[in-house]
Amino acid sequence: MALVEIRDVRKSFGTNEVLKGVSLDIDEGEIVTIIGRSGSGKSTLLRCINALERVDAGEIRVEGKTVRTDMRDLRQFRQRVGIVFQAFNLFPHLTVEKNITLAPVLTGKASKSKARQLALDVLERVGLAEKVDAYPEQLSGGQQQRVAIARCLAMAPHLMLFDEVTSALDPELVGEVLKVMEDMAKQGMTMVLVTHEMGFARNVASKIVFMHQGKVWEQGKPAELFANPQTPELKSFISSIK
């Protein structure tokens, strides 16, 4: 059984059908990179996997359980499936430690006495333990995004979703965030990322999914997919990003 099973998922906003029957399997430990033109439905698909959007038809199962926006254990589900966005969404008035430990303490996942150690542990994984007492505004964009990733890690998720997490960063800060994600991949985290970083996609992804007009148009291993695109749409996408 795949960790994530997506079956013929459809999603419309008003009359705009954005996902037109998407099917995809994601195995445990896989690093899946979703690529495709603006508007092809990449973010919408991620948001459906995390139950931030309701699907109109078809089904998404994570760890065998059907994902629904009205599922009874939505809160626990969101702990198992972390999502990081382009905007870091850190609370500006809270320290890095408090940003990270707010949710684990509220949900009882960590006691107050263990919270600081938890923050230090996950900050260690993103190389920022020395910033535990800093406020977000005292950090660079790359550091803030690494804190946002650490905040997700504090919930010990089984799956992490990343939606263009490096797109808002100055070019010189992109590498440090990609490095953190690469380390997580090496440690076996199952990850689905939407990214324009084709170097990362080539080198780290176990599978690349090309979305086009609301469908999975092509998918495959990076080397094969980039070397041998089967459709004119993927060919033209690849040449547009070179």
Give least dist CB 138 to ligand ATP, A. Answer: 29
84: number of Cβ within 10 Å: 21
Assess 56 for contact with ligand ATP (CB under 6 A).
Answer: no
Nearer to Mg ion, 90 or 162 (CB): 162
Q: Which stretch binds ligand ATP (CB under 6 A): 38-46, 90-98, 105-113, 215-223?
A: 38-46
Three-class SS of residue 49? helix
Q: Which of residues 169-188 bind Mg ion (CB under 5 A)?
A: none
Assess 43 for contact with Mg ion (CB under 5 A).
Answer: yes
DSSP 169-225: S-HHHHHHHHHHHHHHHHTT-EEEEE-S-HHHHHHH-SEEEEEETTEEEEEE-HHHH
The one of Mg ion, ligand ATP, none whose footprint includes residue 50, by CB under 5 to 8 A per kind, is none
Give least dist CB 55 to ligand ATP, A. Answer: 13
Alpha helices in 20-140 (DSSP H): 42-49, 74-80, 96-106, 112-125
Distance CA 42, CA 34 (A): 7
Nearer to Mg ion, 128 or 217 (CB): 217
Q: Which stretch binds ligand ATP (CB under 6 A): 42-50, 57-65, 135-143, 232-240?
A: 42-50
From residue 127, how far is each of 97, 192, 222 by CA, in Å? 14, 22, 28
Nearer to Mg ion, 43 or 101 (CB): 43
Burial of residue 58 (CB within 10 Å: 0-12, 13-18, 19+) is: middle
CA distance between the termini of the chain: 36
The one of ligand ATP, Mg ion, none whose footprint includes residue 199, by CB under 5 to 8 A per kind, is none
Assess 13 for contact with ligand ATP (CB under 6 A).
Answer: yes
Nearer to Mg ion, 131 or 212 (CB): 212
Assess 166 for contact with Mg ion (CB under 5 A).
Answer: no
Instruction: Candidates 8, 39, 54, 199: give the one binding ligand ATP (CB under 6 A).
Output: 39
Give least dist CB 42 to ligand ATP, A. Answer: 4
Distance CA 137, CA 157 (A): 27
Give least dist CB 195 to ligand ATP, A. Answer: 10
Assess 60 for contact with ligand ATP (CB under 6 A).
Answer: no
From residue 207, how far is each of 7, 53, 90, 155 by CA, in Å? 18, 24, 30, 25
Name the site residues for ligand ATP (rule: CB under 6 A).
Answer: 13, 16, 18, 36, 38-44
